[in-house]
């Protein structure tokens, strides 16, 4: 299927790049958002799920590309279809066999995200690393080290999808005039990482907004000085509400980013076709959605690697 990029998408991409390139000068309310983790874990419950292995010898193309880019052997990844009780379509996850935490930790932590947040995550990838960081590439979230079971990191990376995959009425939120006005009205940003640029600032404010919306007592209970960022996280709260309760648990999935096509684990397509016949890999898996009530979204390209790979998460 041919994909056409409109002039509006091109203009949006320009302003997104601008928002992602300019550091912010306002001071942080606190060093990091680690103190929000327990409240989020206590109040965002695990969504029950089932899983089954992907067809042997195949994996999503985006997972293979990421594996190769990160100098990892694609054959070391276990590919799983994970179906949560609140969605008729599974998420395809690519889990490196040497990841520091078990597969269940990845599945359950991702399953704590509200379903309408998960809707905008295409695939989930776990890679072992001495460092702890993550990034989002076109809606596919890549976790390194122990971040695979860190709920605020899951929220932060999914927040990039909400912002840059056009989940909000303001598309994208991070470069919209309304967001910049909210930023101008406030005297601070949530934490030090929020100072990176407006894209990261929106993501961290989304973590704050999710806490405020779902944890009894709200953000004022745990963040002294939260009033200094109130216009920002309130803008996120308003946008998620207008977008259909994106940060609120409950409901069923209603739209999804399409799965990346399935490709053989390694080698050229011609060689692998021959190998497939020998190893009886079978036909290419059909990764299209079967539920016609689930709207298939268009993937908006973006890349947060430059900012996220330099940052350690506890």
Concatenate the DSSP letters of all residues of 155-185 into one string.
HHHHHHHHHHTT-SSSSSGGGSHHHHHHHHH
For the chain, percent of residues with pLDDT exceeding 70: 86
User: Residue 188 above 50 pLDDT?
Assistant: yes
Say what the pTM is.
0.90
User: Residue 235 above 50 pLDDT?
Assistant: yes
> What tens digit of pLDDT does each residue of 149-162 get?
999 999 999 999 99
User: Residue 1 above 50 pLDDT?
Assistant: no
Residue 282: per-residue pLDDT: 80
Band (306; pLDDT cuts 50, 70, 90): confident
Band (308; pLDDT cuts 50, 70, 90): low
Our separate counts of H helices and E strands in the chain read 11, 10
Least confident of 85-89, 181-185, 275-279: 275-279
> What tens digit of pLDDT does each residue of 96-106 get?
999 999 999 99
Distance CA 218, CA 222 (A): 8
Distance CA 18, CA 72 (A): 32
Residue 279: per-residue pLDDT: 56
DSSP 262: E
User: Residue 314 above 50 pLDDT?
Assistant: no
Band (271; pLDDT cuts 50, 70, 90): low
Please enumerate in sequence order all residues whose Cβ is within 8 A of that of 110, keeping only pairs 6 or more positions apart, or say none: 82, 91, 93, 118, 121, 124, 154
**236: nearest Cα among 269, 213, 270:** 213
User: Residue 18 above 80 pLDDT?
Assistant: no
Distance CA 240, CA 75 (A): 39
User: Residue 165 above 70 pLDDT?
Assistant: yes
The CA-CA-CA angle for residues 297, 303, 307, to 5°, reads 140
Mean pLDDT, the chain, integer: 90
What would the mean pLDDT of 187-199 be, rounded to a whole number? 98
User: Residue 16 above 70 pLDDT?
Assistant: no
Least confident of 56-70, 202-216, 267-281: 267-281
> What tens digit of pLDDT does each residue of 98-136 get?
999 999 999 999 999 999 999 999 999 999 999 999 999
Residue 116: per-residue pLDDT: 98
Residue 266: per-residue pLDDT: 77
Band (267; pLDDT cuts 50, 70, 90): low
């Amino acid at each position: 299927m041919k994909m056409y990029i409109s002039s509006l998408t091109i203009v949006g991409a320009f302003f997104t790049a601008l928002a992602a390139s300019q550091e912010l000068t306002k001071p942080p309310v606190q060093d990091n958002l680690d103190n929000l983790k327990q409240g989020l874990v206590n109040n965002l419950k695990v969504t029950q799920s089932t899983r089954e292995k992907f067809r042997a010898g195949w994996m999503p193309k985006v997972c293979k590309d990421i594996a190769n880019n990160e100098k990892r052997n694609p054959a070391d990844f276990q590919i799983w279809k994970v179906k949560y009780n609140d969605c008729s379509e599974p998420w395809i996850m690519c889990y490196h066999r040497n990841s520091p935490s078990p597969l269940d930790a990845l599945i359950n932590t991702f399953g704590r995200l509200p379903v309408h947040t998960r809707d905008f995550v295409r695939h989930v990838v776990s890679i072992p690393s001495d460092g702890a960081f993550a990034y989002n590439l076109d809606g596919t979230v890549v976790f390194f080290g122990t971040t695979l079971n860190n709920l605020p990191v899951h929220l932060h990376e999914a927040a990039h999808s909400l912002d840059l995959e056009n989940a909000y009425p303001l598309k994208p939120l991070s470069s919209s005039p309304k967001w910049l006005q909210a930023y101008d009205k406030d005297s601070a940003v949530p934490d030090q990482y929020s100072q990176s640029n407006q894209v990261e600032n929106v993501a961290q404010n989304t973590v704050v907004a999710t806490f405020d919306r779902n944890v009894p007592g709200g953000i004022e209970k745990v963040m002294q000085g939260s009033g200094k960022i109130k216009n920002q996280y309130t803008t996120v709260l308003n946008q998620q509400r207008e977008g259909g309760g994106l940060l609120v648990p409950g409901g069923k999935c209603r739209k999804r980013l399409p799965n990346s096509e399935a490709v053989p684990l390694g080698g050229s397509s011609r060689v692998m076709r021959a190998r497939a016949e020998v190893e009886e890999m079978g036909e290419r898996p059909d990764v299209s959605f079967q539920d016609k009530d689930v709207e298939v979204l268009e993937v908006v390209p973006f890349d947060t690697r430059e900012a996220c790979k330099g940052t350690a998460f506890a």
